[in-house]
Amino acid sequence: MKKVYIVLTYTGTVISKLIHWYTKDSYAHSSISLDKNLNQMYSFGRLNPYTPLFAGFVHEYIDKGTFKRFHKTITKVYELPVTDEQYLKIANTIKEFYENKTKYKFNILGLYLAGLNIKVQRKNHYYCAEFVNHALLNAGIDFNLPKIIKPIHLMDLPDTTLVYEGLLQKYSYPAKNYENFEKTLDKSAKMV
């Protein structure tokens, strides 16, 4: 039995404030991590921490990039037990996205229309919650989530355990080796 981590965040950016204002949801972004230290955390979000105009598939870090810039980001981290086979499938999905990241685009239209309760899925386009759900579905983990998925829907997944709530910068984790994350991801994708 292995575990993956569902990470919900609220950065306080203009876009997250707009999402919060419109939806009244506490969290505006979601990610999935292959490890409890959140070294292998992935989602669809800002490619550059200083502008929301360019977004896509991203490897996120607690203390680099967007989350470093918005150091008062609040979070909830949920632990989800998965089988070895499900873990491998999630890791392989992430690896495929990572290796082909230019092929995948941010689903800005889908995100906007989700706020209006209209579902639009464009090929190779995702926003954060769509990606997390896609990774879970590819592993055969179907929670029967709404078709118009929002980060807040990931809070109530069965079998998850809330392991942390508070400032993302205060999340406890050991020293990281960012230079080797590609090897780590490749290793995770081969694990069974």
| pLDDT of residue 96 exceeding 90 | yes
Average pLDDT over the chain reads 88
DSSP per-residue string spanning 114-144? HTTT-----TTEE-HHHHHHHHHHHTT----
| pLDDT of residue 38 exceeding 60 | yes
In CATH, the number for domain 2-190 is: 3.90.1720.10
d(CA 79, CA 38): 11
What are 5's strand-pairing partners? Answer: 33, 79
Average pLDDT over residues 2-22: 87
Confidence grade of residue 188 (pLDDT, cut at 50, 70, 90): low
Q: What is the pTM assigned to this prediction?
A: 0.87
